[in-house]
Structures are given as C-alpha cells and as structure tokens.
Structure 1
C-alpha cells in the first residue's frame, strides 16, 4: 500500500490554449482538484511554491482553503523555498492552516530551485549573514521554524500586557501539536538526505537529483532513500519517518490521452547542467496501463517510498486532471499492489 497524492506546480498562462489563464484560475482550480481528488480516494494534495512566476506562490491561504473544503486528504507543499521565509511568521501561518484542516498538513520545505530573478530572496528582506551563503540561510531559517513548532515558550512577556498572559515565556500562536513531525525536506543529493534524517524531517525527493553517478535515476534515488533511513536509525529518532518521491505518470486510456501524451511514451532519464553541476532528471512514464505497470515495477525508488506524488499538468483543467488521477488509481495502482 502507498499513499498516492498529486503535485501541482500551479502554472497559469493567459493563452487561449490554457484552461488556467489567471492567478485566480490557478488558485480556485487547485482547490477544486483537491476536492475531486478526495472524492476519488487520492491521499494527498500537494502544491509547488515559486516566487516571481506565473505559478502558485504564497501557499498558506491555499492550504487553509483546501483544508476547509475537504475532510480527509493530506494537504502539503513540495516545496517551500526557505530562503524567502520569515520562520516565525511562517510558523503562525502553518499552525493556523493545520488547525483549520484538523492536523492534515504535510509541509515540504527546502533550499529551493533555480529562481526566476537574481537573488529573489533579497527583495523579501533576507540576505545571508557574513561568511554564509543562500543555502545556509535556508537551513538557518528552517532550524528556527522547526524549533518554534515544538511549542516551547521563548519570548519575554510584557509585564503590562493588553490581555492577560499565561505564566512563563510565550510561544508562537496558534500552536498545532504534531505539526513538527509533519515537516519534510526536499533533498536533491544523497548527502542532503542524510542531513535531513539527522534533523528529524521526513524525506521528499522529486524527479530531479542535483548529482549524477552514471546509474539510472531510479537507482540513484533508491540509494538516497537507503542512506536517509540508515541515518535516521543512527540518529535514534523515536518515530518512523516518511519518504515521498514524485513521478509523471500518464496512462493512455483514451484518444484524448494519446493526443496529449502519446509522444511521451518510451522516455528516458535526462542528464543536464543545473546551477553549474551535473544533474539527473527522471523520465516521464507515459503509455498503455500494462506498459506502465511493467516499467514502474522496475522503479526501485518508487518501491522504496511510502508516498508517491503524481505531477499533474494543471493547465489542462480540473476535469482532465481528475481523469488522470482516476486512471492511475484504476488502471495502474492495483496491479502494482499500491491499492
């Protein structure tokens, strides 16, 4: 059994060929797809966060709205760029959204991906400290965020407050118990996966690794997962961690599917340059259901993960993406033992 969710980048484009032509479309359709996915039996609705782009950005209003419209489905991000975040304000927003959803938030955070603008985080008021860099700044923001989520008081109360305070130091409110255990780090390398385990965060791995050893993507990612779990055990944490991977899975079960994605069948891994280093990108799984079952059965990383996030082409609209998710659940998941 696997948790199966969808991951939407929330692209929007004013082109007449797009079903998602505005930011309002992207937001409202994201909510509608989560509602439809829950009705289908999908386990999670996850959203990518990009700044300065025609995509989803500030996630917490969306997460809270999805939480208010649904009752069961997990709600998450994949991922929030921590270079841009005020960790205390983020803890307030996350706590509120988690309480609205009844404790269903699963927040993926990370250093982020290549940006739309140069050093975009500086426009948000964040600059690396002297002798540090933007990646270390993201980790520092994350460390503060995780500590605040523990719920311990740290702020000295005003001796003459407007409203009476509880005794002792004050914490960020609202506090949502258990949210600290539902934070994931988006790791792009094997070493970062080990660091993630040491911090007590779940592992979120996508269809991109920012390193390449010459082996197929699925093998490299499976090694990343194995290293994460070994490091977790060595750290002595008292809970079982979760691991997610994301895949583009496109069953061709209708003429419309074949028109959209028939040319994607038989794809392979790609190797390219990202941020000055070699990176390996996982392939797209497109084909007839029996073909996908054979190919996915050989994906070592999918087998090792407990959670699978299916990337969706959100600009094709809610109805089509609900059809896509239903096709995976009906024609692929049962044959692989995921359902």
Structure 2
C-alpha cells in the first residue's frame, strides 16, 4: 500500500476473548457479540487468539463454529493456533467442519514451535511422547496435506457396514488457499512464502537485522513475497494495536492512554533471549492513526490489516473502538465497508 491514493482493501480485527474464570460464559458471549458487531459494521474479517491454561479463548475453532451460526458474511480467522498443542489430523477435521458450517469463510492461522512453558505442561500434554514430538515446520506441512485432501490412510472402502475414506472428512475445497502462517522471523517469512501460505505479521517480531520494528517487519513482508509463487499478489496482513478515540469519552481516553504508556517500555529494546521486538500501540484520532500508518514501512506493503483489540478492556470500550475503526479510521485509509 504505497500511498494514500491506493485504498486499503480488507479491514479486520483480532480479539483475545478474555473471560472471568468464575463465570466464563459471559466472556465467551461477549466475544460472539463482538464478532457479530464486526459483521454489522462491515468489517471483512474477525479473528480470535488462542490461549492455553489462561483466561482467554482456549478453543478458537469451537468459538468460531458458534460464530458461523450468528454471522453470514464476515470471514473468521485464528491468529494463531500453536500447532505444538495440536494433532494435525484431528485439527484438519475440525477446521474443515467449521469451514463447511461457515460456507467457506474460515481463515485458519497457525504457528509452530514447542508449546509455551513446555517443561511445565509436557506431562499433561504428551506424557508418553514428549521427548519425540516433532515441533518443526513438518507439523504444519502435515496439516496442510490433510486440509488439501491428500491421503491420510491407505484404506478406503467398506468394512462390515461402515464406509471409510482415505482422506480427512469432511473435505472443504478452497480451505488450503485460506491457510495463514503467523511468523515473526525472516526464516518464517521465507518458509511461508515457499510453501504458498498467506502471511500474518503482528505487533511482535524478532530483532534479527535491526532494532527498528517497522524496518524489521518490512523486511519480513518483502522476504515473504519474494519467495511466494504469487509474488507481489501474495496475501499478507499487518496486525498492530490501534485505538481510535474519536467517539471515546474522557474516561475512555484516559484509560487508553494509560494502557499504551504502560506497554511502551517494552518497545524500546529487544526483549529476552529471542530478542523479540514489540510495536508501539497507536492511540489518537482516526486521522492521527492514519498518518502514523502511512509513515510505517510495513503498512505500506500490505493491502489488508487485522487490528488487535487490547486484552483487558470492557465490552463498551470494544464497541466504541470497533465503531470508530469502521466509521472513521477505515474510511481515512480508503477502505469501504462490506454490504
């Protein structure tokens, strides 16, 4: 997206789906209401995060299955499912089922690597196979093969009164083309491109070649497209935290500013042994946010975005933020809401 003269094509949002452990139903219902609101506002996509052993959505596929029955148009995505926790064959069945229920609107995003805090959860997750589990890119390739309809079993036919398929059922044509990879490194960007995936770039990257977040993200996007068969036409999305304040109350503006300021320190230098860099949250009017985005080298390379909602805000805050994004910020970026 090199200049304001080229309109943003797709506008989406991401939620973690927080809930109270003592009353989880209310939080899950709020998440579904937020997705429904997104459709009403004309957003192109709604995405959910994946959190294990936390007070956020632990089963995004199940939540999106519910969302398919409350929406008709909006694309539904996961950003992202960490495959270290998943059986690729079982997940392929779940994804295809939800895609069928949605009428072909599912956009599954995945990542690889050992599960978070693996030493603490290994006995619960893989008590018998923890030392031999493969957490490499091969785990993604297995999932992609099953989603694409490649053979999962050497047997196909009838046994007794039961009929068996040699591939995952249901099979959902087109789902493979809507698979995304969430990457934060040059290696991941290149691998996603070489394997024909779409690419999710978020507000977290690995500081490999620079300590300038925007420049690192730009290099990832360029690397991805340089190795993708579709080249410049390959789908890539940028995901930053943006909080427009056009319709906010004074109390909300104060809350949003305090939230961003509390997270600013981590953006100054790479964090931890992996040298992870975090983007600054952008708080301000729609015009101020649009100006900041057009100055961002990463944003100028994408035609679609998935703006992340802050983790811990109230339902009323999400309504205001999403409404301002759809009615103020989106138009300032040249975007037009879906019918």
TM-score by length of 2: 0.86
Structure 1 residue runs without a partner (length 5+): 15-20
Deviation at 1:288, TM superposition (A): 2.7
Deviation at 1:121, TM superposition (A): 5.2
Structure 2 residue runs without a partner (length 5+): 1-7
Deviation at 1:143, TM superposition (A): 1.3
Distance 1:227 1:95, change over 3 A: same
Among 288, 312, 315, which residue is 1:318 paired with? Answer: 315
Q: How many residue pairs were aligned?
A: 322
Conserved? CA contact 1:189–1:209, under 8 Å: yes
1:31-110 equivalence runs, <5 A: 31-110=32-111
The SS at the match of 1:99 is helix
Deviation at 1:138, TM superposition (A): 4.4
Conserved? CA contact 2:189–2:199, under 8 Å: yes
Q: CA RMSD in A?
A: 2.6
Among 239, 244, 249, which residue is 1:246 paired with? Answer: 239
1:79-228 equivalence runs, <5 A: 79-111=80-112, 115-116=116-117, 118=119, 120=121, 123-125=124-126, 127=129, 137-155=135-153, 156-157=155-156, 160-164=159-163, 170-228=166-224
TM-score by length of 1: 0.86
Distance 1:218 1:338, change over 3 A: farther
Conserved? CA contact 1:270–1:283, under 8 Å: no
Conserved? CA contact 1:111–1:138, under 8 Å: yes
Conserved? CA contact 1:52–1:117, under 8 Å: no
Deviation at 1:78, TM superposition (A): 0.5
Deviation at 1:141, TM superposition (A): 2.0
Conserved? CA contact 2:85–2:115, under 8 Å: no
Larger deviation, residues 152-161 vs 208-217? 152-161
